[in-house]
Amino acid sequence: MAYLPIADYGVIGDLHTAALVGRNGSIDWCCAPRFDSPSVFGALLDDEKGGRCRVAPVGTSTSEQRYLPATNVLETAFQADGGGLLQVTDFMPVGPARGRYVEIHRQIHCVRGGIEVEVVFQPQFDYAQRTPFFSRRTHGVLAADLDDDVVTIATRPGIEWQIEGTRATARFRMSAGDRLPLVIRFDDDEVHPIEQYQSSEKLEITTHWWDQWSAQLQYQGPYRLEVLRSALALKLCCYEPTGAIVAAVTTSLPEARAGSRNWDYRYTWLRDSAFVLYSLDHLGYVAETDAFFNFLKRVTRRAEAKHLQIMFAVDGRRELPERTLDHLGGYAGARPVRIGNGAVGQFQLDIYGELLETADIWRRRNPVSEGLWKTLRDLVDWTAAHWRDPDWSIWEPRHGAKHHVFSKLMSWTALDRGARIARELNLPGEAERWRTEANAVRDQILEEGWDADRQTFVQVYGEPQLDASVLVIPKIGFLPRNDARVRTTLEAARRELSSSCEDLIYRYRTTDGLHGDEGAFLFCSFWMVQNLAMIGEIGEAERLFRLLLRRTNHVGLLAEEIDPATGEQLGNFPQALSHAELINTAIILERLRPASPLSPLPAGEGNQSLQTAR
């Protein structure tokens, strides 16, 4: 089988892990029992060795794929030769439907005609490093290795399974009206009668659970469907047991075809999580923020007097050693395949600002407990003591630390928000010292981070290159959005970072210590649209936003980057930051659209710190 484009997948999940389902009916990626567990289905990263579970008509067919409205239940419809129509409904039970085990349910329905169906069951344990052994059971097939991994597929008796090497296959004919459930279960040594899996009941409960979650959406603007789909994608990135949020559910999907910028995103970056929570909170989803702050308190218990680690495993584990899996060919030949992430040890100042910004928005609707304030106060204190230090910042280059403007901006944000929370809630803390330090950061940025000749803020003090991350300036209220420097910085970004497509910009155009090329960054492109809206260019912002929305795939999902030359989605998928900024852009456009061009934004966007910034 040939590799599918990244954009040809839909995603299902159970808030513990997720699976990618291709339009060809193949599950090509699933790690169990958690997002950051070794893969069981990994054909995404090696079509021959990685493993999959495919359900499709025998012979040629065409397919379409969609989500059931307001859910993460995925339907793939196959139009077979001869006019037959086969529908496969894929879901992972959530809420009351989820039991002890991770399960994937694949309900096959012959809607029209007669169709011969083939099921390929080909798990490969531990990133295809351990060979499975298959055994037929009365109600399906069990696959296990010599260690402790096991996965089963259950169906009705009478389905004949053929075992050939490292896969099991079954072929059967279905007539109009026939239905057949398949259930894949991880870590259970029994293959139960299909009735015990209660697939139909679990589908109903799961669909209702997603529908109830979607009903909480508080956005009612013209992009409601796109915003809801992005919110549902973000929810799939949430790890329910701890409140952690993964940056994406995949690893090593390349930032350029056959490139080497292939990273593992199945971890919780504190920065990315803060952006996700910022967007979900504005949509009315508060439980996710509550859960994440509990996770934050947990991982900062031992963080006093030292820099807060930038990322964690979903269970809070700190050790994430990066290594390559050289036996895997990589997505479409893009190598190496990496697991773990070497950036875990980097010093990145900006995470403090993103966390305090999220906390400042969250506390407007929720009480701040003593324990949470202790955590936040320590973060602000640490920022006050260390904001003058060089760091690696948001893009995680693999050269030396520098004085990045974005990190200084977010240091200012941490100090500004910390002082505000302490003052307004009368909480203990050195609010006056924090305010003094915030003013010092601000003065330094305006002096060292501004290029007077080009009339733009730059990436690094004393260096000429531009960085799209400085487009955060009006979003955080560092400068008023009607400040001339905001407009000229945006103009410089569009001039110097633009791609061949007007809606896409690159994050920067400078060396970063890494080999290979990359695409245009989607969330930076959304920031550009937000800036246009905030300076009063609503019409242009709307136009570019609609172009960006056309970049989503057939079920509304986005990766991290786009190749401007081909329109191909690049990088890990679905990308939480891309969907978070799609949501934030829609919200900003909605709040500015009926207002005068430079009317004040509500707290949480644009000029919430306008008095301080002036």
User: Which contiguous run of DSSP H or E holds residue 170?
Assistant: strand 167-174
C-alpha atoms less than 13 angstroms from C-alpha of 47 in its C-beta half-sphere: 10
Name the stretches of the chain with pLDDT < 70: 1, 258, 302-306, 398, 511-516, 594-614
pLDDT score for 510: 72
Peptide bond connecting 600 to the previous residue in cis, omega within 30 degrees of 0: no
**Residues 410, 300 share a domain:** yes
Asked whether residue 423 is domain-assigned, the answer is: yes
Q: Is 579 exposed, middle or buried (0-12, 13-18, 19+ CB in 10 A)?
A: buried
Q: Which of the 8 DSSP states describes residue 251? A: B
**Residues 263, 155 share a domain:** no
Q: Do 151 and 123 meet the contact criterion of CB atoms below 8 Å apart?
A: yes
Q: How, if at all, do strands 103-112 and 115-122 pair?
A: unpaired
pLDDT tens-digit profile of 126-179? 999 998 999 999 999 999 997 789 999 999 988 999 999 889 999 999 999 999
**Residues 252, 160 share a domain:** no
Asked whether residue 1 is domain-assigned, the answer is: no
| Pick from 359, 403, 405: nearest CA to 378 | 359
Q: Is 566 exposed, middle or buried (0-12, 13-18, 19+ CB in 10 A)?
A: exposed
Three-state DSSP class for 226? helix
Helices (H) and strands (E) in the chain, counts: 15, 27
**Residues 235, 204 share a domain:** no
Length of the chain: 614
Asked whether residue 308 is domain-assigned, the answer is: yes
> Residue 567: phi, psi to the nearest 5?
80, 5
> Residue 509: phi, psi to the nearest 5?
-135, 60
pLDDT score for 514: 59
Q: Which of 178, 196, 211 delimits the end of a domain?
A: 211
| Structure-token pair, residue 599 | 């009317």
Q: Which of 182, 211, 240 delimits the end of a domain?
A: 211
pLDDT score for 598: 46
- Provide the number of structural domains found in the chain: 2
How far is the C-alpha of 454 from the C-alpha of 459, rounded, in Å? 13
**Residues 322, 462 share a domain:** yes
Bridge partners of 519, per DSSP, are none
DSSP assignments along 282-313, one per residue = HTT--HHHHHHHHHHHHHTTT-TTSPPPSEE-
Q: How, if at all, do strands 179-186 and 150-154 pair?
A: antiparallel
pLDDT score for 301: 76
> Residue 183: phi, psi to the nearest 5?
-130, 120
Three-state DSSP class for 209? helix
**Residues 491, 456 share a domain:** yes
Q: Do 414 and 383 meet the contact criterion of CB atoms below 8 Å apart?
A: yes
Q: What is the CATH number of the domain that holds 122?
A: 2.70.98.40
How far is the C-alpha of 395 from the C-alpha of 535, rounded, in Å? 26
User: Which contiguous run of DSSP H or E holds residue 581?
Assistant: helix 576-592
**Residues 238, 184 share a domain:** no
396: left (phi over 0), alpha (psi -120 to 50) or beta: left
Asked whether residue 467 is domain-assigned, the answer is: yes
Q: Do 267 and 320 meet the contact criterion of CB atoms below 8 Å apart?
A: yes
Angle at 236 between CA 235 and CA 240, to 5 degrees: 75
* CA 607 distance to own-chain centroid: 27
Asked whether residue 492 is domain-assigned, the answer is: yes
Asked whether residue 588 is domain-assigned, the answer is: yes
Q: What is the CATH number of the domain that holds 316?
A: 1.50.10.10
pLDDT tens-digit profile of 496-543? 999 989 999 999 887 655 565 789 999 999 999 999 999 999 999 999
Asked whether residue 471 is domain-assigned, the answer is: yes
Supply the range of the domain harboring residue 312. 216-613
Three-state DSSP class for 462? coil
pLDDT tens-digit profile of 238-294? 999 999 999 999 999 998 876 778 999 999 999 999 999 999 999 999 999 999 999
Three-state DSSP class for 381? helix
Q: Which of 146, 178, 211 delimits the end of a domain?
A: 211
**Residues 184, 255 share a domain:** no
Q: 10 Å Cβ neighbour count for 148?
A: 8
How far is the C-alpha of 475 from the C-alpha of 453, rounded, in Å? 24
**Residues 424, 563 share a domain:** yes
DSSP assignments along 59-120, one per residue = S-EEEEEEEPTTSS-EEEEEEETTS-EEEEEEE---GGG--SS-EEEEEEEEEES-EEEEEE
How far is the C-alpha of 303 from the C-alpha of 322, rounded, in Å? 22
Q: Is 413 exposed, middle or buried (0-12, 13-18, 19+ CB in 10 A)?
A: buried
**Residues 116, 11 share a domain:** yes
217's CB contacts (< 8 A; 6+ apart) are 224, 227, 228, 231, 283, 284, 285
DSSP assignments along 472-516, one per residue = GHHHHTSS-TTSHHHHHHHHHHHHHSB-SSTT-B-SB-S--S--S
370's CB contacts (< 8 A; 6+ apart) are none
The pTM (predicted TM-score) of the whole model is: 0.94
**Residues 542, 413 share a domain:** yes
DSSP assignments along 512-540, one per residue = -S--S---EEHHHHHHHHHHHHHTT-HHH
428's CB contacts (< 8 A; 6+ apart) are 373, 377, 422
**Residues 205, 220 share a domain:** no
C-alpha distance from residue 54 to each of 173, 236, 352 (Å): 16, 22, 44
